[in-house]
Structure 1
Amino acid sequence: MIHKLIKISIFSQHYSTLFSLVVVLLIAGCLNAQNERPWHKHGYKSLEEGDFYGAAYYFSKALENDSSNLEVLWSLAESYRLNGDYDKALGAYHALLERDRESTYVLSSFYVGEMNQYLSRYQKAIEFFNLFEEQPRANETGKLKISAQRRKSCEYALMNRHTTDSLSIKNAGYGINSFDAEYGPVFIEDSTMFITSARYDSNTTKLIKEKEFQFKTILYSIDFRSEPFSIRQEQVSIEPLSYVSSVSNPDSRNEYYITICKSNVCGIFRISRIEDGWSEPEDLGAFFNNADFNTLHPSVGRIGAKEYLFFASDRKERNGMDIWYSEIKTDGQLTRPRSAGSSINSIEDEVTPFYDSENERLYFSSKWHEGFGGYDVFFVEGSPGNFGQPINAGRPLNSSVNDLYFSHNPSVSMGSIVSNRTGGYALKGENCCNDVYLIEYPDSVKIEMDTVPDLAIEQSDDLVKKLDGLKMLPLSLYFANNLPNPGSLSSTTSANFADLTREYYKSQEEYLGHNRETGWVDVFFNKEVQFGVEALHQLCDSLLIYLSKGYVFHLGIKGYTSPLGNTSYNEKLAQRRIASIENFIRNWNSGKLGNFLDSGKLNVVPTPYGEFFSEGKINDQWEERTKSIYSYDAAKSRKVEIVWVSQINPDYKGPVLVLENDAFDLGGPEIGSIVELKIPIANVGDSTLAIDGITSSHPGFHMVEPITVKPGESLNVTVQFIVSEYADIQVFGIVLHNNSSIENVPVFLKLKKEP
């Protein structure tokens, strides 16, 4: 049996967990290098480079040639797991477990348990952790203690999954987040946050023949004082192919501590703000920069009159990543680092510390202590040398996957966290990449899941800003499977969303029958569905106030479906769902908004996405209804969203851009071909609209020529791009830059390879 030991720095290319550590993959092989087929070679090469998405593609192709090859099946499962594609990883490990009659791949049952844990299937996870621990060779894997601790975590999660704190956690949105990975958010001042983003040059799989490093990390500062907030790229002087993260600074000096990684080793440096940017990074010496270990995630905390630098490191004194600290003397010198202690540090990794000086709590993330799955956020009370026992920070701060980089700013009652939880911006797997999430605390929360805010407003206020400030957009409104008008090929309906929702509520018991192991059904129906209905009533009430005073509104409403059914049917279904929302608005409060719809003062701008975003992510098999109809992901995909509201004040004379469609399915164009796309737009304002440029997350895009659109006219924006390598199903975006009240308008494109 041949084994390959592959070291992968998570800081290198994928950022699944976003800190430097060594992942050991034992790939059992019975083929020597000379006899491996090309798909195998490409798969191993991708694993070595940290391109787990590409590795999964190559190993799946290899399995098509030889479905009995257990080595390839193991490698495929590992690739899915490391890419955050937990559902597919579960299927691959499960298949391996059933086929591996000789029990060669002992860890299969452990990872089946772990994938179930990540998917919140805690009872199933416990069963497979038990199965793993009963195997005679389990002790040889080094996972026996970890498996036992995972079982305890699943038991903890089952007892506490319905307990949530009154926090509001929202994805920070596109702009702060991208389709790659963001990490290291920290509030430096009352209104400024630093984040680091790992941006690929394209959203395509990294090709084997490419020799240059394809991604770069960029440090951004975000000023929340502006409306909307402004983002600026910070220029820090570092060597090529190295990257910066985790900025932190003491209150008393103009000094910032940063992580800089190069050659797969990370260390902590100190920099200062200067007139034209940043000073050269200052090396802090062998305790903090050493080729033998990683030192990263700096966070400064004040405890009484002293300041401390907390950080994570895998130095030789202990195994794995642990939390350490060093006192910052008044002259800026750092004392010899000390471990935060055995109550915090474990046989697994503890990372991303943050010290809350106001409450004297040290926060950190760990896989070891009892939690909900992946890395959870914990805190300990006390101070260095006198820390208590870890306490799980609870839900909704923690999820069943990775939750890292917790920090908060008490002066603005706001915090942040990084997570790969479901619902983020991801193109290469639902949980592949980390996004920044913003946290609002109870004294500042304006919207809770089951409480609709009061939108009572004066004429001088701006409703759009009010909605944004209350985090009411996008407003999600959920539908039962295949409703309204199941089987119809019509794009219209007389159904009213209010009636559809009442019927939807009656199906809760049916959903519970398919989801005994999870507690999402009650939360989904009685909070998310209920909130949407109540918020829609409140929005209509507010629109009536403004419309009665001469304002004009456009509502951007998007319709979605699960991937059940064919594409054409799903597009019609999405149109009917949008129409049911328009019927609700028209008939609301005995028809008080109907005249405004008829007169053009209130306008619905529909975009029927259908299965545009759900295809390839959600089960589409009728015979597997527990997954395709009654699962949480399927229920969340059947919705309409009021995504944007455009308000034209009575005295506004500027242009107003309206997209007739903002989602385009381009099919499966050949690589190297040139695709031309025409995006129809309309100007419903009173002055000339100018489209002066585009940006895109995909390389090779350009606008053929800038255009101007006169009031009342409709024209096409013509965009061309050269098709490069893309995934089987891939969605990416472009942004239209214009001079209207909404300066940056996104458009989504989908490519899908032919089977």
Structure 2
Amino acid sequence: MKKSIFFLLTIISLIQTQNLFSQKISKKAQKLYQEGREAAGSRNFNKAINNMEKALGIAPNYAEAHRDLAFFYFSLRDVANARKHYQAAADLKPSDKAFAPAYIRLAEFNITEGKYNEALKYAKEFLSSNPSARYVNDINLANKIIETSDYAIEAMKKPMKFEPVPLPASVNKLRQQYFPSLTADKETMIFTGRTGDNEDIYQVNFENGNWQDPTIIEELSSKFNEGTCSISADGKTMIFTACVGNSDRKVYGACDLFISYKTGDTWSTPENMGSNINTKAWESQPALSADGREIYFISDRGGGIGQNDIWMSKKDKEGNWMPSVNLGKPINTPLNEVSPFIHANGKTLFFSSRGHEGFWGYDLYRVEKEEKGSWGKPENLGYPINDYHDQVSLVITADGKKGYYSHEVRDERQQLISTLFAFDIPEEIRIKESSDIVKGKVYDVKTGEVLDAKIELTDIESNEVISIVNSDAENGSYVIVLTAGAEYALHVNKNGYLYKSLSFDYKAEKESQEISLDIPLEPVVVGSKVTLNNIFFEFGSYSLLSKSKTELDKLVNFMQDNKDIKIEIGGHTDDVGSDTANQELSQQRAGAVVNYLTEAGVSKERLTAIGYGETQPVVANDSDENRASNRRIEFKIL
């Protein structure tokens, strides 16, 4: 009703304030024009349009008739006819202040087609007409068009290499497939597919160098729609959107997010993620972190900055999702943000927005997480990845080299077609910290039985747990992501077994790779032993380095969880130096570890320190790398 009243008042204002007649226009055309305006004032728009068309049939150069007819068509959302008549009006009376509405509409039409120079010209024409305060929305629009056009014209002078290729027809077999999500090993893609009015979640595998045919994930499917989804790096956790529920799948808001877990080849019954994630509003477009312990998503709930904002939640130490928080400025804007994607490195967020500097419509951006969890300034991905079309639903591989996205077009019947594409990421926008993956299986070293174990990745400089995953209970498989720029301790834990300690130094740049690593675990029995690969000393000294704290605290926890066992801490050296000096140093280093444990509350009676010097090498002392392996601390069950 308010819109109708505003429209009527606008028509009356036009009738009262604008020059109605031109000396060069015939009286018959002028009469039809007048009757058309009066009909519009009475809200008889069909008659108004008919009279204006008749007037133009008599007087094709009747600028006022073109202008007012364009306004009628534009108000009725007939953009094609509105544009035709606004253009005719502007061509007939350029720089005429009475035609200011034509200029702003033409600026808007041109920028939505990427015609930035034309849009710039008409937006400036509009502002130069000195429009009154009642045009405040159009004034703001003109300024936005000028800002966007200036940015786009400059950005297009520096195009990047961008050569997207559609995925094979075997993948793009539906009319619409969109919002892809990818496992870290690049072997499984999940996407939303539409057949008719029905949406389902599809899986497609990469095998023998080719993408296979997609299949519906039956455990997640229902007779209702299953929408945008995200999968964890290891392919074991899935979050997706559902907007209509049933007795087994309750939906409490406009759309809710659901979670499912995969064991072996089977997905669990989806569960609503609960009130810390979902509200009575609309929640959709989830993006899982690599380890599945953080989620970014879109919601139009209250308390945000715009209508659609990016929100996030993370799991607490007990594995429960914490209350969601708005990412705030500078990421969210008063306009819409959509389709977030958190890279496997956990530090680079990609998203689409209408509110940041760009090319018009939805553009793709990235933003880096800084120290203490704050976010930097979003950066436009540039031309031609972005242009005047809408760009959404981008995912980037863990190594940062390839991107996947869905591209939408309309066919000759104006029906939407959505196709999945892949492209090589241009060097100019490669992520700063790419990621490798470590994958394999965890098993019992004695029996070969596969194990479901907890796997923790810790930054040993900050002692911060970066990622936690579990190996699969049915096949023992695991995938974990290592991101450049840090030194990591990887600990594999299973009740009844000695924990495994592995070390990865990723502080220096290196070529991305996939590491295959099966992890055997030793049962907690007398004689079992394991190397503590993340204990470090000052060179030639027994002074512990601070980055040893992660490993030492892990050992403390092990002793607290296994209160009945006694252990030997064994110190070992390489063959550099005298036998006596090496024996003494190895004893002192073993003693330093025992001292740390006792100071942390472990009883001295449960601990023995023995230095073995260079007498028990694990490899020949014939290279720097091998000597480093021989310099070690072990613990053994007594």
Structure whose CA Rg is larger: 2
* TM-score normalised per structure 2: 0.49
* TM-score normalised per structure 1: 0.42
